[in-house]
């Protein structure tokens, strides 16, 4: 089973991706509940886990970066730097705005450092960033751990030959693309985005990378929306 784990509530993992007998983890730094009742829960019926699991550290007591209350002090600073905008971009949505995090140089550095500490010794050679905010967090993580950055883009944004993966939206479908030759079979990848919500784009990114023989180690996101988490069978 793949799980989405918010570092803000690290002792309470909540399921995101489910598949038989296997587990991956999708850690996020800031768990942020958003009451978005009208969004439908997508299913990714063709998703399969094909590589051995890499377990997350588990509970707050097992984390090296812990304060006296069991939580890294950097996490609260990061969480407080992210503002919530109600009714944007439409009524009923509580939008998690990371632009205020980017204005806080300390909180932004802490965000990157937390991910780098987690992945620097995982033998990751590819950081795949999902358009668009994955392009903000992915490159500094990639540089710090010595990996290349691969953009996962919307249709018709990449020049040259691409490989595509379709995924479900609330209404209809969308497509994610990656350059042919950007990754090689056997490489180990980290998928980066700003937000764990319904999981549709993360699922598409995983499938796209696994189709060309890449081992997806984990997904790394800054914010988690627990009320939108789903099982992807």
Q: Which residue ranges form the domains of the chain, and what is each CATH number?
A: 2-228 (3.40.50.2020)
| Distance linking the first and last C-alpha atoms of the chain | 10
Q: Which residues are CB-neighbours of 121 under 8 A, at least 6 positions away?
A: none
Distance in angstroms (rounded) separating the CA atoms of residues 190 and 30:
18
Distance in angstroms (rounded) separating the CA atoms of residues 233 and 205:
16
Q: Are 94 and 83 in contact (CB under 8 A)?
A: no
pLDDT digits (tens, 9 = 90+) for 172-213: 899 999 999 999 999 999 999 998 877 889 899 999 999 999
| 172: helix, strand or coil | coil
Distance in angstroms (rounded) separating the CA atoms of residues 158 and 208:
15
pTM, two decimals, is 0.75
Quick one: which of 227, 158, 222 has its CA closest to 192?
Answer: 222
- 199 in the Ramachandran plot: left (φ > 0), alpha (ψ -120 to 50) or beta? left
pLDDT digits (tens, 9 = 90+) for 118-166: 999 999 999 999 999 999 999 999 999 999 999 999 999 999 999 999 9
Range with lowest mean pLDDT among 8-12, 89-93, 97-101, 119-123: 8-12
Mean pLDDT throughout 58-71?
41
pLDDT of residue 72: 82
Catalytic site positions: 133, 170
Which helix (H) or strand (E) covers residue 135, if one does?
helix 134-145
The beta strands (E) that lie in the chain are given as 2-6, 14-17, 25-31, 83-86, 94-97, 126-130, 148-152, 162-168, 173-179, 188-196, 215-224
Query: For strand 2-6 and strand 25-31, is the pairing parallel, antiparallel, or unpaired?
Result: parallel
Q: Which residues are CB-neighbours of 142 under 8 A, at least 6 positions away?
A: 127, 148, 149
Tell me the C-alpha to C-alpha distance, in Å, between residue 162 and each of 8, 145, 159, 231: 37, 26, 8, 29
Task: Evaluate if residue 81 carries a pLDDT over 50.
Answer: yes
pLDDT of residue 27: 64
pLDDT digits (tens, 9 = 90+) for 3-23: 333 444 333 433 333 222 233
Quick one: which of 164, 175, 135 has its CA closest to 151?
Answer: 135
């Amino acid at each position: 089973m793949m799980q989405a784990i918010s570092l803000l509530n690290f002792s309470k993992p909540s399921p995101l991706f489910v598949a038989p007998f296997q587990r991956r983890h999708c850690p996020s730094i800031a768990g942020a509940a958003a009451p978005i009742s009208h969004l439908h829960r997508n299913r990714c019926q063709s998703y399969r886990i094909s590589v051995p699991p890499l377990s997350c550290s588990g509970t707050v007591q097992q984390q090296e970066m812990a304060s006296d209350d069991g939580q890294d002090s950097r996490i609260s600073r990061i969480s407080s730097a992210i503002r919530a905008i109600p009714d944007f971009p439409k009524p009923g949505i509580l939008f998690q705005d990371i632009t205020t995090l980017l204005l806080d140089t300390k909180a932004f550095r802490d965000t990157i450092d937390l991910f780098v500490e987690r992945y620097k010794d995982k033998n990751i050679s590819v950081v795949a960033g999902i358009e668009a905010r994955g392009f903000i967090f992915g490159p500094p993580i990639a540089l710090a751990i010595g990996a290349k950055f691969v953009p996962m883009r919307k249709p018709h944004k990449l020049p040259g030959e691409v490989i595509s993966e379709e995924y479900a939206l609330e209404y209809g479908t969308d497509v994610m693309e990656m350059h042919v030759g950007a990754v090689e079979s056997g490489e180990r990848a980290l998928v980066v985005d700003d937000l764990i919500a319904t999981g549709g784009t993360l699922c598409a990114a995983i499938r796209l990378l696994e189709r060309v023989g890449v081992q997806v180690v984990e997904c790394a996101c800054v914010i988690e929306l627990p009320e939108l988490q789903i099982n992807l069978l």
